[in-house]
Chain A
Amino acid sequence: MIAAALTAVVLLAQTPALSEDCGSDADTLAREAETLLAEAGPRPSAATLDRARRLYRRARLLSPSAPFSLRAADLASAAGDEEESGDLLSEAAEGDPKLVSPAERLILARRGEARRQWRDAIAQYGHLRAALASDPGATAWIDGKIGRLEVEVEAQAISAPTIGQAPPEARLALADGRRALAVGDLPKARERLTLAWKLSPGYVEAALALAALETRESRAPEAIRAYRDALAADPNRLEALVGLANVLWDEPDRAAKEESLSLLDRAAAARPDAISLLKLAATRWAEWGDAAKALNRIDTFRRRAGAGEKRTTENFRETLARRVDAQLSGEAEPGGGPSPSEAPLEGASPAIDQWKIAQAYFRRGDPASLASALEHLGEAERLDPAFARAPELAGALHEKRGELALARAAYERAIAADPSRAATYERLALLLDRQPGREADAEEAWRRAEQAGSSEALFHLAETAGRGGRRGEALSLYRRYLAESPGGVHAEDVTRAIAALESSRRVSVLVLGLALLFVVLAAGAFAYRRVAGRTFEEWLREEPARAREARPIVGRLRHEVLKHGGLLLADAANRLSEPDPEARRAAARLLLSRLFGSRGREGRGGLIHQASDSFARLNALAEEDGHRLNLERKDRLFSPIAEGCRVLRGLEPALSRIAEDPEKVEGNDVRHVAEGLRRAAALFRSNTGAEVSRLLDEASSTRVRLSELQDVLLRVCAEKGVAPPPVLEPLGQLLRDSSGSIAVRVDRGDWDTIWRNLLANALDAAGAMPVSEVRLGVSAELLRDPVTGAPTARFILADNLPGALTAEMIRGRAADRGWGIVADLVRRHDGTADVGPAPAPGYGKGVVLELPALEPEGPP
C-alpha cells in the first residue's frame, strides 16, 4: 500500500505533462496506449514506449487497478527502468496477488533482499510459499530463507552500541561531579556531569549520574532526557531502564505511564535475579488497572521469593486474582505498552552488523539460534577485536547455555577490549556471585565496576560489606547508591538497609556506651579496692595500742601460712611433677589436706582458712576503731599473701582430680597446678613475716629515755602540788648514757600511764615526808629470757619511802586504783610487776617491771 501511494504521488507530479489526455477515462487511456504499441510493432521506439507508459500512469491515477500496474511494470521493464518495473510489479501483486506468478514473486523477494527491505522480502517469500503450497518439498528452502530474513529484521531493530571508551577528561569530570554530589554541591555536580556528557556523548555513566541528580532535584524533564540519553547509549542498562521507568511513572500523562510499565518489564526480564522489580511491576500494573498482568508478575515474584515475602504479598495476590475474575466475566484488558524507543543505528565498527544479528538470534533463545549467535559474535570479534560488545554478548550467551568458564573468559575478553565499560564488570561480578567460593573474585569485579561508574556495584559492595560486618563501609556505600541512583532498582532495599544499619549503629553506640560505663565503673571499683582503705602500717600508726592485739594474729599467720606454706608448696610442686602417679596422688592429697583441710579438724582448718581467718580478725580489730583495712589489695606486706591464697584456691579442683585419679589428669593440667604452687610459694616468700613483726614493734614500742621519765615526774608533781619536785636519779649505766637506750614493746600511751601511776603512788606514799628527803631513782637493764632468749627490759623504780609494798598489793585487783592500772597494763603487754630490793644504797625498796623489749640496735 505504501508503494502504491508513493507511485500515485509521483504520477500526480507528472500530471501537467499529460494535459492532452485530460478528460479521458482510465480504460480509454489504456486502450490508447495499447493502440500506440500495436502500431509500433514488436520493437517500439523509446518515444512510443515513453508515451505508452505515461498513458498508463494517467490511467492508474484514475483507476489504480492491479492489471494497469502489471502492464505498466512490463512497459517499464521494456524501457529498461527496472526500478520502476519492480515497484509497479510489487504494486500489482499487492493489488491482486493472483495476478503475480511465483517467478515474479521470487523476483520481488530478491529485490526486497537486495534493498535490505527485510519485511518486504519476507512477505514475498511468504506469498511464494503459499503459491507453492501443493509441493511442500519444494518450499522447504523458503522457510529457511524467511527465518534468516526475520533475524535480519530483528537485527535491524537493534540499536548500535556506542563505540569506544570515554576520554580521560570526561571520566575526570564524572569523578568530580560524583564528589560534588556526595558533598551536596549540586550546582557543581550538574556542571561537571553535563561537561562529562558533552565531552563524551554516549558516556552512559555520565548520563546516569546526571539523571540521578535531576531526579533528586525533582527536575523531571531533565531527568527523563538524561535517562533517555543513557538508554540510547546502552539500551539494556538496568539503572537507566528502572530510573526512567520511575520518573515516567510519576508523570501525569498516560503515555508516560505506559512507557514506564514497558521499561519496568524490560528491566525485570533483563535481570531475573532482581525480583523486587517484579513486585514493583506488579504493583504498577495493578495501579494501571491491568490486573492480569499484575497477577502474572506477582506470581512470578512469589515463586522466587522467600516465605516472609510470600506472606506479605498474599493479600495483594488475592485482590488481583479477584479483579482478574471480574475482568474475565466481561471487562476487556487494557492493551500492552508501547515498544521501547531504540537508538538510531550507528555503524562505527565493522562488527556491528554481526553483533546485531547475533543479538537477534540471542533474543530467540533456542539452542540453534544461540549457536548461530555465537558464530556471528565470533565473526564480529574477528572483524573488530576492540568491539567489546561482541565478547560481552558472547559471555551472556555462554551463561545462558550454562558454560560458566566460557562466559567468564568472554567477559574477560570484553574487559580487555574496553576496560572502561561498567556493564561488563557487572556481568562478570554477577556471574562470579553465583559461583561458590568465588566471593572474593566477585567483590573485586564489583569494585572494578564501581570504579568504572556502576551504581549497581555500590549496592552489591554494600551488601558484601554488610555481610562481612563492615557496617560503616556498608552504610557509606548504601548512601552513595541513594545519592547516585535515587530511583534505582535497589532504592527500596537500600533505604531499608540504611535504616537497619543506622538502628544497629545506634544500638551499638548504646551498647558501647554501656560497656564503657561498665568499664569505668569496674575500673573505679578496681581502683577503689586497690586504693581505698588503710594498710596495716597506716592503721598501726594511728592506733598503736592495737599492736598488742594484732601481734598474736600476725604470729599465727606467719606460723601457719608463711612457714608451713613455704615448707610445703615448693616441694609439693616438685612431687606433683614426678612420673609416678602414686607420688602425684600422695602429693595432691597432702596438699588438699594442708591447704583446704577440714576446718573442724583439730580446730584449725587448712592454710587457706588460717589466712582468711587472720585477715578477718585483723579487719575486725580495725573496724572497732572505725578503720577499714585493705590488706588484700593495697597492703604491700599482706597482699602477696592474699594473692597466694587466691592462687591456691584456684588449684583445688585440679588437685582433687589428681588425688582421685592422677592418670586421668592431663600433663598440662598437672604442670599448671605445679606452677600455681610455685607461684604461691614465691608470693609467700616475697615479704617475710619478720617485716610484719617489725612493723608491729615499731608501732607499739617505746624507746625509754631518762629525760622523758623525768618529765612525767614533773607533770605528776605539778598535778599534786609537790614543789620543788624531786629528782629521778638514774641508777645504772644504761639510762645515764644517752646513746644507749632500751625499747620496750609498750606503746607510748600505755608507757606514760604506767609511769604516771607508779610515780603518783610513790608521791602519795611519801605522805608528810618533806620533799627534800624523798629519793626516787630508776634503773634499766636488758635481759634475755633464759629459755626463749627473747629480750626483756627490767625497770626498777627505787624509793626511800615509808610503808610496806608487796607484789600482791601491786598485782591484786583490790589494790589501790593506781597499782591496779599498772598491773593491768603490764599484764596486757606480757610483762610482770613485782616488788624487789633496792638496786642501790640509800633506797628502801624497788618496784620491778619486766616487759618485752626489742632487740637492741647496738651492743646491749
Chain B
Amino acid sequence: MSRVLTLLVVEDGTEYTDAFRSLAATDPRFPIELVRAGDCEEARRVLSERSVDAVFLDVVFDRTPPERLVGDLESEIRRFGGDQRRAERHLAENQGFYLFNDVAQLLPEAVPVVLAYDFSAEPERLTALRKRRERLSGVPDGTPIFRVLEILSADI
C-alpha cells in the first residue's frame, strides 16, 4: 500500500477501531486513517463530508438503541406478526447487512466493503449480495486484523 488508507469503521463499540488503530500504529505496511461511525446516521454523515477508501461494517449492533438502527422496522414488525421485539432484535443482529444495504448506495463502486460476517459456509449468500456490490467481502472467523486490512487495501 503506497498511500494512507482512509477507512470508515462502522460499529456499535470500539473493538474493531481499536484493533485497526493498534495495527496501524505498529505496522508500517498499513498507513491508515481511521474514521469511526457508531450507526448508520453517523456513517452517512461521514460519507457526506468526505470520501473514504474502504468501509468496514460490524454486523451485530446490539448495543445500539433500536431507534438508531437502520431498516424498515414497521415492515419487520409486520413480517414477524406484530412482534416488535423480534423485529428489533432481527434488525440489531443483522444491522451490518442493513448498513451495507443503505450505505453502499452512497459509495463509489470501487470502494471495497468488508462485512464482519463469515460467509464461508454460505458462499451463495455472498454471491447474492455481491450482485449489489461487487467489492464486498466477508471475514471468516478468526481472521487476524492485518488480513482484513490486506483485503481492504487491495488495489489501493
Contact = CB atoms under 8 A, between A and B. Distances in A.
B59 interface: yes
A823 B81 CA distance: 9
Contact of A685 (B94, B125, B142): B142
Nearest to B143: A566
A684 B142 CA distance: 6
Given A688-B118, A789-B126, A563 B79 contact: no
B65 interface: no
A790 B15 contact: no
A690 B118 contact: yes
B120 A690 contact: yes
B94 A787 contact: yes
Interface in B137-151: 139-146, 148
Contact of A790 (B27, B125, B146): B125
Given A567-B145, A568-B15, A827-B83, A791 B93 contact: no
Contacts of B86: 827, 830
Contacts of B93: 552, 555
Interface stretch (B18-26, B33-41, B45-53, B105-113): B18-26
Nearest to A593: B18
A562 B124 contact: no
Interface in A530-579: 552, 555-556, 558-559, 562-572, 574-575, 578
Contacts of A787: 71, 94, 97-98, 101
**Contact-residue size bin, chain B (C-beta under 8 Å from the other chain):** 35 or more
Contacts of A572: 22
* Among B19, B59, B71, B141: residue with most chain A CB under 10 A: B141
A125 B148 CA distance: 121
A498 interface: no
B33 to A, nearest CB: 18
A693 interface: yes
Contacts of A578: 26
Interface string A687-702: 0111101100000000
B19 A568 contact: yes
B133 to A, nearest CB: 11
A312 interface: no
Given A689-B118, A784-B125, A787-B98, A811 B81 contact: yes
* Among B16, B71, B125: residue with most chain A CB under 10 A: B125
Interface in A602-625: 602-604
A787 B59 CA distance: 13
Nearest to B79: A832
A778 interface: no
B22 A586 contact: yes
B26 A566 contact: no
Contacts of B128: 784, 789
Contacts of B142: 562-563, 565-566, 681, 684-685, 688
A315 B88 CA distance: 96
A631 interface: no
Contact of B97 (A556, A569, A788, A791): A788
Contacts of A480: none
Nearest to B59: A559
A399 interface: no
A858 B60 CA distance: 30
Interface string A402-421: 00000000000000000000
A568 B13 CA distance: 14
A583 B79 contact: no
A371 interface: no
Interface in B87-139: 90, 93-94, 97-98, 101, 116, 118, 120-126, 128-129, 139
Contacts of A94: none
A590 interface: yes
A685 B146 CA distance: 15
Contacts of B97: 787-789
A823 B80 CA distance: 10
Contact of B15 (A558, A594, A685): A594
A563 B22 contact: no
B15 A684 contact: no
B63 interface: yes
A567 B13 contact: no
A855 interface: yes
Contacts of B27: 574
Nearest to A559: B60
A594 B19 CA distance: 10
Contact of A690 (B15, B18, B121): B121
A855 B128 CA distance: 11
Contacts of B116: 559, 563
Given A784-B128, A856-B124, A571 B141 contact: no
A556 B116 CA distance: 13
Contacts of B83: 827
Nearest to B13: A602
A833 interface: yes
Contacts of A786: 101
B141 A833 contact: no
A198 to B, nearest CB: 89
Contact of B121 (A569, A590, A694, A811): A694
A784 B126 CA distance: 11
Given A567-B148, A688-B141, A574 B63 contact: no
* Among A563, A681, A788, A789: residue with most chain B CB under 10 A: A789
Contacts of A694: 121
A860 B15 CA distance: 37
B125 A563 contact: no
Contacts of B23: 571, 575
B37 to A, nearest CB: 17
A688 B140 contact: yes
B124 A583 contact: no
A787 B76 CA distance: 12
A564 B26 contact: no
A587 interface: yes
A827 B80 CA distance: 7
Contacts of A811: 81-82
Interface in B1-20: 13, 15-16, 18-19
A544 to B, nearest CB: 19
Given A694-B121, A832-B81, A566 B22 contact: no
A567 B124 contact: no
A571 B144 contact: yes
B18 A590 contact: yes
Given A787-B71, A789-B129, A856-B124, A558 B141 contact: yes
Nearest to A784: B128
Nearest to A807: B81
Contacts of A827: 80-81, 83, 86
Contacts of B140: 688, 690
A564 to B, nearest CB: 6
A571 B149 CA distance: 12
A690 B81 contact: no
Nearest to A566: B142
Nearest to A786: B101
Given A559-B60, A789-B97, A832-B79, A685 B22 contact: no
A567 B125 contact: no
Contacts of B101: 786-787
A613 to B, nearest CB: 14
A788 B94 contact: yes
Contacts of B22: 571-572, 575, 586-587, 590
Contact of A574 (B26, B90, B118, B141): B26
Given A564-B15, A685-B141, A688-B120, 20 more contacts: A563-B116, A563-B142, A565-B142, A567-B143, A567-B148, A571-B146, A575-B25, A583-B26, A602-B13, A684-B141, A685-B142, A689-B141, A690-B118, A691-B121, A789-B126, A789-B128, A791-B122, A811-B81, A811-B82, A832-B81
9 contacts: A566-B144, A590-B22, A594-B15, A690-B141, A787-B71, A788-B125, A790-B125, A833-B81, A855-B125
- Per CB-CB distance, the 10 closest pairs between chain A and chain B, nearest first, are A566-B142, A685-B142, A690-B121, A562-B141, A788-B97, A570-B144, A811-B81, A789-B129, A789-B128, A689-B141
